[in-house]
Structure 1
Amino acid sequence: MIDLIQASKICKDEREKRGLSREDLHKITKLPVDIIRRLEEDESYLKKEPYAYFQMKILLNHFGINEELSRETPVEELKKEKEEKIEYQPRNSFFKFFKGVFGALVLILFTALSFSFKEKEEDRFVVFLSLLNSSPEENTKTTNNLDFERNIKNIRNIHLKAKNYVWITAYIDGKEKVIKLTKGQSVKLKFNKKIKFETIGNANNLIIIFDNKKVALNKKIIHNLFVDNEGVFYNGYNLAQEES
């Protein structure tokens, strides 16, 4: 198994060994020249761009390299993350222990004094106790997460409409599905994570409707088109954004 950094070097070496320019490789794989350059030279792109994995697989398949490609972070980063996690755990454990002891002491004190306070005063102390057991950082994090989730569109389906005969091989959340549409037919596809359209035949007769946006395809045969809750991606470009 190889990671994206290793695959990048292998594909670049193989291209140069075969005497191919990036423009030549673009004409064969249909990947943009700039994307090929990033796959070969830009480690930041390989680590942060989720579609770099699928683009790299196109290059590996073209060169006939049968190594299994890993989606994971390279070994050096994993090692660093583990070291940071080990360093953080004692501090985190001590904080939790201290917080638990402090909470227990406050609870005991509250129980001892509860008989001498009025019901209204008891209610105020309970509120105070709950505030002691939640840090400002946790409250801020929870609020930020809720705001973030509200702003994300949870798109989990698309519509396909055929202007004429269309045939499709798709993988919906990893499960293969063959779809054949005749003129005027439409179908709704639901997914949890993503849809990979491995092949679309007569693609220029197909309209994909994503988040009320119509995406028309201008090629007769299309390979490796991806859909997730962010858009419709082909060769690294979000076609749904371009159509908006």
Structure 2
Amino acid sequence: MGQINLPANLLDRLKRAEAQITQLWKNVGLSSATIAAGGLTLLNNAYLKMLGASNNEIVYIGPDGLGNQVVRIRDAAGNIIFGSVSAGGASQRVAINPNPAGSARIEFYDDGNTTDRVSLSLNGGNFVQQREVQATSSINGGKVSFYNGLTYFGHQTASLDTYLRFNNSGEIALRGKWTQDNSEFNETAVFVGNYDLGSAATGASVSWGPTMATRMSLVTDIFLSGGTVTSHNIDAISQTGFGVRWSPSSTVRVMYHGLRINQAW
């Protein structure tokens, strides 16, 4: 077979191409890449993943096995330190700073409620957690607020605002109203009510409803419209209720409130 002579410039071009291919292989997976303009677009549910030295997942952005788009960031031990919800339904999600121009905010959504959400927000050094209407962000339920010098635990809607408030002076304020004759459970802390007699009498027995778990410290008063009660006293108290007597015999209203204390019967 005869010798084939190649032009010197062709050999040089082959050498340069080989060097470029070698450099390309070095760049793939080993060196950094910088996109000076434009962007990176992933098509057809492709994903972005970062792996550690032991092939462990560090960052993942893309679809999960259920078809949801998720984000996961893990620490060195493999624990998720930031992640989007990937289960529970299409509407269960967490939004972090949905309005980049607004205050720092996290919003929680759930399939069980399509009108309300729960939000955590920071504004001017104040922290507020509340249930709110999705469409208007107006409060519609439970609320916990930590302001400068004031702390609120309450329930608020468009028509009411009830809360327990603390301040830096050690003062406690309570806004709202007590449930009357609350018989839901035997650990009621405060029991408030009144009892109207239908005819004249000198005494009455009142039931708590449930059998109270611990002793009740009770205060009573007797209201008589158009007359005077000269004396009255509690003559019996137990886990199930109490008795009260008064003089003279009258058609009265027995008013009472009791505090449940940590003392056995």
- Per the normalisation by structure 2, the TM-score is 0.19
Whose helix proportion is higher, 1 or 2?
A: 1
- Per the normalisation by structure 1, the TM-score is 0.20
